[in-house]
Amino acid sequence: MHNKTLAELAAGLARKEFSSRELTQHFLDRIQRFDGELNSFVTVCAAQALQQADAADAMRTAGNASALTGVPFAQKDIFCTQGVKTACGSKMLDNFIAPYNAAVIEKFNAAGAVMLGKTNMDEFAMGSSNETSFYGPVKNPWDKTKVPGGSSGGSAAAVAARLAPAATGTDTGGSIRQPAALCNLTGLKPTYGRVSRWGMIAFASSLDQAGPMAQTAEDAALMLNAMSGHDARDSTSIVHPVPDYTATLGASIAGLRIGLPKQYFGEGLDAGVAKIIAAAISELEKLGATVVDIDLPASDLAVPAYYVIAPAECSSNLSRFDGVRFGHRCDNPKDLTDLYKRSRAEGFGAEVKRRIMVGTYALSAGYYDAYYLQAQKVRRLIKSDFERAFEKCDVIAGPTSPSVAFGLGEKQANPIAMYLSDIYTIATNLAGLPGMSLPAGFEKNLPVGLQLIGNYWSEARLLNVAHRYQQVTDWHRRVPAEFA
């Protein structure tokens, strides 16, 4: 059962080929068998999952089921989940039991889905390798000496190893797409404001967006149907119609204009990855798409702009973790200042401290104009580049990551090299655009992801292009031999 897609499992449940309890128990058994080495889960909710499965079976018997009723999922440990530890990969929240459900959790519960557990992640979603987690690094199922990507690396590894049919992720600068690429999954970052951020622990509020991580575009469409919609509790949630993302999956892509930015195919891109991306684009051309060259001249400024804006917002968002109201509190503080200092020093890891310091500096008097304000101006230039590009094309294509998965520990001593892992994904977040990664082939026996970027609210088109590609290729069906 574990090699079936989300859509296939939903169909099997509808035909009563198996029950939700049987399906849930199967995946719980796989987690127990395989996850000790992968470390993809922080919390496994076995008893709760089986209760939800029984409730889902009752819903199906009563004829009240939706498409996802009874299907097991993994949830990234960034979404507050009532009664369950929500640690966000940090010692700071290791003792935090969420008193309410995030909007995303609410929506999956309303659909009758089953939560297998909460997945490991880079601390407060800060990282590109899932090595900054307080709970230890996650290993890539394709090669356990390699990283799975981050920050949604636990979700990616769990789905790649078929410990869960699908999972949620969040994407601040590529944290859905990059691990999807490194683990051979389909991952989608929706338009900013498409999915509610309420109850999702914030890293950088103007960049964070939740999305699906699954085997196929069809599965991602099913998940996005459940996740999307306006939420009055989230001031960044946008009122915009939610289409049925599965309705146009099979539409022809004849005449589709694919833009190829020269900045995404230059220095820094691994030659083997470039060859695979070229072959994937050729497949799309065989399906009737045409290719046009486009220019995104401000692309080179995306990484430096991001690493001013994101740390500035993280500095503000993480100021609430002070040892007073919730989270880690140091022992026997001498006074209030000592409480603040030691609680934060003990609770946060090195990468989070680094970004808080950078962000606080960028926002400080005398430096705000020189750094933060300039970065926001660059952000506007990046957005304008995309606006001009979409006058010439319908979808932008390129690599998701400049290389295949790198070794555990390989880049930990060099933060700049780590930051450049997201060089092709960051601009999408700065502009608020939807983007996705889909399996495109293998280099050195490791997965390569093709990135597609669309105009605002064009998730249905991206999913359509990805689905048509997956109808003529089988990369997305490949599973690591150990977990097949």
User: Among all chains, which residue has been given the structure tokens 């719980």?
Assistant: 28
Catalytic residue among 151, 155, 196, 343: 151
Phi first, then psi: what are they for 135, rounded to 5°?
-90, 10
Phi first, then psi: what are they for 395, rounded to 5°?
-140, 145
Separation of CA 328 from chain center: 26
3-class secondary-structure state, position 69: coil
Among residues 195, 417, 155, 392, the alpha carbon closest in space to that of 295 is found at 392
Distance CA 468, CA 470 (A): 5
Residues 277/398, Cβ–Cβ less than 8 Å? yes
Distance CA 113, CA 22 (A): 14
Question: What DSSP designation does 256 have?
Answer: P
Distance CA 348, CA 380 (A): 32
Helix (H) or strand (E) holding 57, with range, is helix 46-61
Catalytic residue among 152, 175, 421, 437: 175
3-class secondary-structure state, position 374: helix
Query: Catalytic annotation on 175?
Result: yes
Catalytic residue among 20, 40, 76, 403: 76
Query: Catalytic annotation on 151?
Result: yes
Query: Catalytic annotation on 76?
Result: yes
CB atoms within 10 A of CB 387: 13
Distance CA 75, CA 354 (A): 27
Name 380's Cβ contacts closer than 8 Å, sequence gap at least 6. Answer: none
Which region holds residue 88: left if phi is over 0, alpha if psi is between -120 and 50, else beta? left
Instruction: Determine the longest span between alpha carbons in the chain, in angstroms.
Output: 70
CB atoms within 10 A of CB 288: 12
Question: What DSSP designation does 368 have?
Answer: I
Phi first, then psi: what are they for 189, rounded to 5°?
-100, 115
Q: Catalytic residue numbers?
A: 76, 151, 175
